[in-house]
Amino acid sequence: MSSILTREYPRYAIVAVGAVLLKDNEILLVKRGYPPGKGKWSIPGGVVEAGEDIYSAAIRELKEETGIEAIPLGVVWICNNVVKDDLGKVQYHYVILDVLFDDKSINGSLKAGGDAVDVAWFPTNAVMKKDDVSRTVKNLIERINKFGLTYISL
């Protein structure tokens, strides 16, 4: 049995985290440098490494991709992100746990890193109108607008 995990055309869904940071009606997003979502603005995040807990993975990804450190509060959203190729075959499949961070604990300055080519704050209402924002970000904002900003502590 192979222990190699392939992100493209995976045999199983891959567990990932998103680092959600909202402040003054703005959301922190990164521009993806690699597929899936290359060129799209998205929540900072990535794959949970073996042995890593959800919060540690989200803290690491937030720091790597944005230069920002903050304290996690809990899981705000769980996203089943399936991307199919032109033939309908599953090309990418991530189960993403979006972790909300405390905006009062922000430390550091913005600097894109990791697989992010840019990082910026966007007004949440403007995000919904942008074509270059991922559908997962728009789904998250729709959920927050509908149900409020709630989260589950782990």
Whether 153 is covered by a domain: the verdict is no
Largest CA distance in the chain: 49
pLDDT band at 150 (very low <50, low <70, confident <90, very high): very high
Average confidence (pLDDT) over 109-114: 96
Domain that holds residue 117: 14-147
Question: For the residues of 96-132, what is the DSSP string, one character each?
Answer: EEEEEE-GGG-EE-----TTEEEEEEEEHHHHTT-TT
Q: What are phi and psi of 55, to 5 degrees?
A: -65, -45
Whether 92 is covered by a domain: the verdict is yes
Whether 52 is covered by a domain: the verdict is yes
Whether 72 is covered by a domain: the verdict is yes
Q: What is the pLDDT of residues 60-78, one digit of tens each?
A: 999 999 999 999 999 999 9
- For residues 61-96, one letter each, b for 16 or more C-beta atoms within 10 angstroms of the residue's C-beta and e for the rest, the string is bbbbbbbbebebbebbbebebeeeeeeeeebbbbeb
pLDDT above 90 coverage of the chain, percent: 92
153 burial (CB, 10 Å; 0-12 / 13-18 / 19+) is: exposed
Tally the domains of the chain: 1
Q: Is the pLDDT of residue 119 over 60?
A: yes
**pTM, two decimal places:** 0.92
pLDDT band at 132 (very low <50, low <70, confident <90, very high): very high
Whether 8 is covered by a domain: the verdict is no
Cis peptide before 44 (omega within 30 of 0): no
pLDDT band at 1 (very low <50, low <70, confident <90, very high): very low
Q: What CATH number does the domain containing 77 carry?
A: 3.90.79.10
Q: For residues 28 and 39, give the distance between their C-alpha atoms in angstroms, rounded to a whole number.
A: 16
